[in-house]
Amino acid sequence: MPKQALPSLAGEDLRGRTVLVRVDFNVPLTGGGVGDDRRIRRTLPTLRRLREAGARGVLLSHLGRPGGSPDPSLSLRPVAERLGDLLEGGVRFVAEVRGAAFGEAASELSDGEFLLLENTRFEPGEEENDPELAAEWAALGSFFVNDAFGTAHRAHASTHALPRRIRADGGLAVAGMLVEQELHYLEDALREPERPFVAALGGAKISGKIDVIRSLLPRVDRLLVGGAMANTFFRGLGLETGASLVEEDRVETARSLLEEGGERILLPVDCVVADRIDDSADTRTAGRDEVEPGERIGDVGPGTRTIFAEEISRARTIVWNGPMGVFESAPFREGTMALARAAADVADRGATVVIGGGDSAAAVEEAGVADRITHVSTGGGASLEFLAGNPLPGIEALSEEEER
Ligand code: ADP
Ligand code: MG
């Protein structure tokens, strides 16, 4: 069911009205300040639009995992400061997430100003999806915007109970511009992908991604498998994987996926192996059937890089989740960097390239090609859930298009 988005809200007279906005300000903090502020920057289009409309924005976000009680090291105060810099003023902060003070602070807002509440996860009700906590927030206004794609797969008070309450009270809950963009690229890639459609999956674990493989397998023309995930598939083929990371309890699953996928699944033909995986590891290239007991597979090998790059260069739609190797360590980074470059090259030629996953996003950034990628998702878990075909509670809770 199509959901309403910010433009339908912009049709309302928002001047002087309070709009509750769920944002994803779950950013790394370093030395008391904001480290990487990309997540903050990506909410700016929505916030600027609300400001132009003269709305008064009350912003909600979680940060880290304080586990339902206040933790001063996870305060959003430094985030409010950075947001104030980025928006050139007009950002207030209240060190409270429920109680009397935030209502008072919200009532002091001028048109176009924002108030960031303290970390929502300081309250146990947030992760419990507590309707009473949501009702306290909902009392502030009758409009809600979800621009936090990174937490759209969670049914929490600020992502689920709150928009439901707003709607129950006759208000409007819509997708922000970032969420709309995320859904647009992910939906298009799945619904009517321009072909060839190639998915590349890697990363540490197969278990978290099995549903994604199952859902993508019938749709893709090729599925490239790298990372430690490939090791479990190697075992499914009966190959020696030495001391590499393998999920023993998934070897059977890998075997049946290989049967189901046939020639559409491409595994690495060679690997970069070493006795240990670190920055000073002494590596060698091994065919996938030449790994010795005791050796560890840390990356895909040069032959695989060429094959994968060719597949990518022929594709018109690419979905990539999970690095091809331990790219954090120099001896094992080339497989991931080569894939990132191939993806950027084909995006330059008009293909749609969608990348999900926190580590994969960091890898394309490190390769210096992030700007050339069609869409780098802000939601690791959320994009995986979506690709696996599962509903996202934070999206489900928004107003339907024909509502009101
Ligand atoms: P994403 O965050 O993009 O979804 P994951 O979290 O699933 O990706 O996986 C990323 C991690 O996988 C990285 O830390 C990387 O070091 C690790 N990894 C990739 N290949 C291997 C490998 N062959 N052995 C061990 N770890 C690996
Ligand atoms: Mg990760």
Phi, psi dihedrals of residue 287, rounded to the nearest 5°: -60, 160
- 191 pLDDT band, cuts 50/70/90, is confident
Q: For 100-104, 168-172, 238-242, 300-304, which range has the lowest pLDDT when averaged over its residues?
A: 100-104
Instruction: Report CA(7)–ligand 2 centroid distance (Å).
Output: 33
Cα–Cα distance measured from residue 231 to residue 247, given in angstroms and rounded to the nearest whole number: 8
Q: How confident is the model at residue 1 (pLDDT cuts 50, 70, 90)?
A: low
Q: Are 94 and 75 in contact (CB under 8 A)?
A: no
Closest C-alpha to ligand 1, atom 26: 204
Alpha helices in 240-350 (DSSP H): 251-261, 302-314, 334-348
Distance (Å) from CA 356 to ligand 2 centroid: 10
Q: Whose CA is nearest to atom 5 of ligand 1?
A: 203
pLDDT at site 12: 76
Give me the mean pLDDT over the 272-278 stretch.
Answer: 97
Is there a catalytic annotation at residue 154? no
Q: How far away, in angstroms, is 151 Cα from ligand 2 center?
A: 15
> Mean of the pLDDT values across residues 229-242?
97
Residues within 6 Å of ligand 1 by CB: 202-204, 227-228, 245, 297-298, 321-323, 325-326, 328, 357-360, 380
Confidence label for 206 from pLDDT (cuts 50, 70 and 90): confident
pTM of the model: 0.88
Distance between CA atoms of residues 63 and 363, nearest Å = 23
Q: How confident is the model at residue 404, as a pLDDT?
A: 65
Nearest Cα to Cα of residue 139 among 103, 93, 88, 183: 103
Q: Is-catalytic flag, 3? A: no
262-271, pLDDT tens digit by residue? 999 999 999 9
Contacts of 237 (CB under 8 A, 6+ apart): 255, 258, 267
Closest CA to 275 of 287, 289, 299, 292: 292
Confidence band, pLDDT 50/70/90 cuts, at residue 102: confident
Q: Would you say residue 327 has pLDDT above 70?
A: yes
Residue among 126, 102, 101, 109 at smallest CA distance from 50 = 109
- Bridge partners for 200 per DSSP: 224, 320
Contact, 339 vs 230, CB < 8 A?
Answer: no
**What is the pLDDT confidence band of residue 192, given thresholds at 50, 70 and 90?**
confident
Contacts with 313 (C-beta within 8 Å, 6 or more apart), sequence order: 342, 345, 346
Instruction: Give the closest residue (by CA) to ligand 1 atom 15.
Output: 326
Q: How confident is the model at residue 8 (pLDDT cuts 50, 70, 90)?
A: confident
Q: Specify burial of residue 112 (Cβ count, 10 A radius: 0-12, 13-18, 19+).
A: buried
Kind and range of the H or E run holding 336: helix 334-348
Instruction: Tell me the pLDDT tens digit for each residue of 18-71.
Output: 999 999 999 999 888 999 898 999 999 999 999 999 999 999 999 999 999 999
Annotated active-site residue 358? The verdict is yes
Rounded mean pLDDT of 225-244?
97
Is residue 171 among the annotated active site residues?
no
**Please, what sign has the CA dihedral across residues 179, 181, 186, 192?**
positive
Q: Is the pLDDT of residue 188 over 90?
A: no
Q: How far apart are CA 28 and CA 278, in angstroms?
A: 24
Q: What CA–CA distance (Å, rounded) separates 52 from 50?
A: 5
What is the reported pLDDT for 364? 96
In this predicted structure, what is the pLDDT of residue 328?
Answer: 96
Instruction: Write out the DSSP string of 158-223.
Output: IIIIHHHHHHHTT-EEEE-HHHHHHHHHHHHHHHSPPSSEEEEE-SS-SGGGHHHHHHHTTT-SEE
d(CA 282, CA 189): 40
**Alpha helix (H) ranges present in 277-328?**
302-314
Distance (Å, whole) CA 43 – CA 46? 6
> Which of 205, 214, 219, 372 does the annotation list as catalytic?
205
- Residue 287 scores a pLDDT above 70: yes
Q: pLDDT averaged over the chain? A: 94
d(CA 320, CA 312): 10
Ligand index nearest the alpha carbon of residue 358 = 1
Residues 11, 33, 99, 358: which is the catalytic one? 358
Q: Is 82 helix (H, G, I), strand (E, B) or coil?
A: helix
Going across the sheet that includes 143-146, the strands are 91-94, 114-117, 56-60, 18-22, 143-146, 172-175
Determine which of 42-56, 124-138, 179-193 has the lowest per-residue pLDDT on average: 179-193
Task: Return the half-sphere exposure (C-beta side, CA atoms, 13 A cut-off) of residue 141.
Answer: 23
> How far is CA 92 from each of CA 30, 102, 113, rounded to the nearest angstrom?
22, 11, 8
Q: Whose CA is nearest to atom 10 of ligand 1?
A: 203
